[in-house]
Amino acid sequence: MAADDPARPSSPPPGSGLATRAVHVAREGAPLGPHGERPATAALYQTANYVYADAEGAARAAVGDSYIYTRHGNPTVDGFARAVAELEGAEAGLAFASGMAAVATAILALAGQDGRAGEVLASEGIYGGTTELLTGLAPRFGVEARFAPAWDLAAFEAAIGPRTKVLLVETLSNPLLRVPDLRAVGALARARGLTFVVDSTFTTPCLVRPISLGADVVVHSISKYISGHGDVLGGVAVGRAGVLAPLRAMRTSLGGNMDPFAAWLALRGLRTMPLRLARQCESAALLAAMLETLPGVRRVHHPSLPRHPDHAVARVQLAAPGAMISLQLADGAAARRFYDRIRIFTRAASLGEVVSLVTHPATFSHGGLSAEERARLGIDEGLVRLSIGIEDVADLEADLRQALA
């Protein structure tokens, strides 16, 4: 089952590109017959437990690294996690029931380890669920958080405190798509002896591989681009095996392992991820440039645009500037009108699906914040967020034009 199983009859040579590796990774099931024949797709081990031949086998499995119970480990789930790790250039991977299970386990395991709970310095503009975790749940377990803009390195460094253990950033902030310089934050983490965690949900290994830029742990919500079809919930964390060890133990205790069928679906989604991302990012850049020319659009936030504040960092750091766009319209009434008139974009939460999606952050993802806090984060009533899908770009353009007319 291992992605790097040398006996696999078809494995791309080292140095193959990401799209080649994504279609081949963890593709074949275990050998079935005497001639080494295998199923052409990964096997789905939809099982809760594992059967032993005798007392000695059971006793060995219980103390060793063998399969005992799917909450501890499952070959389909582990195969999926290894596949993501391989594409990220990481030594090991762990899959989770959701992106939040991955983020929460990483934060609590890494900031709370060594018997002395520490602090997380997180970037501003991170995912709402993660902000709630850091301000609500984590402090009850002794893990405190501070927030500072990671795209302003001096401000981020100045916010490091004596108890800081973990730096947490997202590759693209939400919803204004700011781009922290990962290499610079990684160097800061190394210099200060801190663990650097990067949430790369918005970018996937297609656009950036944060391990190569100094991240210790990379987490993803699989529910977004990696599975890509809006039909799976999952998460993953990748990094060095030693760094992931406390996450593995905590995952078992919290019960956050991924379901085997979800892992199997995510593995299928992973195959087309490079193709989807290429299309989505290309369409997003075209639409961002088009939207800038429309009357009624006050501002377009997309890192492909030269006036985006992190355009230069994005050009160096990201293979493509992502497929999320935020649009600043005149006011809340204009945003609501746009939201009601759009036809192809689906009015739904989440992002990264094959279909294009639209949200109104001020009343939806960021509705729980005070008006002052929203203003500080640059999220006003006129802002709408788009997740660009794989539809024909001419149709998306026409839809945006008619909704803004």
Ligand X SMILES: *Cc1c(COP(=O)(O)O)cnc(C)c1O
How many angstroms separate the CA atoms of 12 and 17, rounded?
9
Active site annotation includes 192: no
Q: Burial-class residue 397 by CB neighbours within 10 Å (0-12, 13-18, 19+).
A: middle
* Collapsed DSSP state (helix, strand, coil) of residue 379: coil
Q: How far is the CB of 239 from ligand X (least distance, A)?
A: 16
CB nearer to ligand X: give 102 or 403. Answer: 102
Length of the chain: 405
Active site annotation includes 224: yes
List 5, 52, 71, 183, catalytic entry: 71
Active site annotation includes 127: yes
199 near ligand X, judged by CB under 6 A = yes
Fill in the DSSP letter of residue 334.
H
Q: Give the residue from 325, 104, 357, 64 showing the smallest Cα distance to 221.
A: 104
CB nearer to ligand X: give 79 or 234. Answer: 234
If binding means CB under 6 A, how many residues of this protein chain bind ligand X? 16
Please pick, from the candidates 45, 127, 156, 345, the single residue that binds ligand X as defined by CB under 6 A. 127
CB nearer to ligand X: give 202 or 345. Answer: 202
98 near ligand X, judged by CB under 6 A = yes
Please pick, from the candidates 31, 129, 214, 378, the single residue that binds ligand X as defined by CB under 6 A. 129
Q: How far is the CB of 98 from ligand X (least distance, A)?
A: 3
For residue 396, what are the contacts with CB-CB under 8 A and spacing of at least 6? 283, 287, 344, 345, 356, 388, 389
What φ, ψ does residue 135 adopt, rounded to 5°? -100, -20
Q: How far is the CB of 200 from ligand X (least distance, A)?
A: 8
CB nearer to ligand X: give 221 or 257. Answer: 221
What φ, ψ does residue 39 adopt, rounded to 5°? -65, 145
Please pick, from the candidates 99, 186, 205, 321, the single residue that binds ligand X as defined by CB under 6 A. 99
CB nearer to ligand X: give 101 or 287. Answer: 101
Q: How far is the CB of 13 from ligand X (least distance, A)?
A: 33
- Which of the residues 156 through 175 are near ligand X (CB under 6 A)? 170
CB nearer to ligand X: give 216 or 399. Answer: 216
Q: How far is the CB of 351 from ligand X (least distance, A)?
A: 6
* Distance, CA of 281 to chain centre: 16
* Distance, CA of 22 to chain centre: 16
What is the rounded (10 degree) CA torsion for 301, 152, 124, 385?
0
Name residue 274's amino acid: P
What φ, ψ does residue 387 adopt, rounded to 5°? -110, 115
How many angstroms separate the CA atoms of 330 and 310, rounded?
24
CB nearer to ligand X: give 28 or 353. Answer: 353
Please pick, from the candidates 100, 284, 329, 384, the single residue that binds ligand X as defined by CB under 6 A. 100
Contact 200, 173 (CB under 8 A): no
Dihedral sign, Cα of residue 363, residue 369, residue 371, residue 376: negative
Rg over CA atoms, the chain: 22
List 78, 199, 259, 399, catalytic entry: 199
- Which of the residues 215 through 244 are near ligand X (CB under 6 A)? 221, 223-224, 233, 235
Active site annotation includes 199: yes
> Interface with ligand X by CB under 6 A: which range of 72-80, 96-104, 279-287, 387-395?
96-104
Fill in the DSSP letter of residue 12.
P
38 near ligand X, judged by CB under 6 A = no
Residues that bind ligand X (CB under 6 A): 98-100, 103, 127, 129-130, 170, 199, 201-202, 221, 223-224, 233, 235
Write out the catalytic residue numbers.
Answer: 71, 127, 199, 224
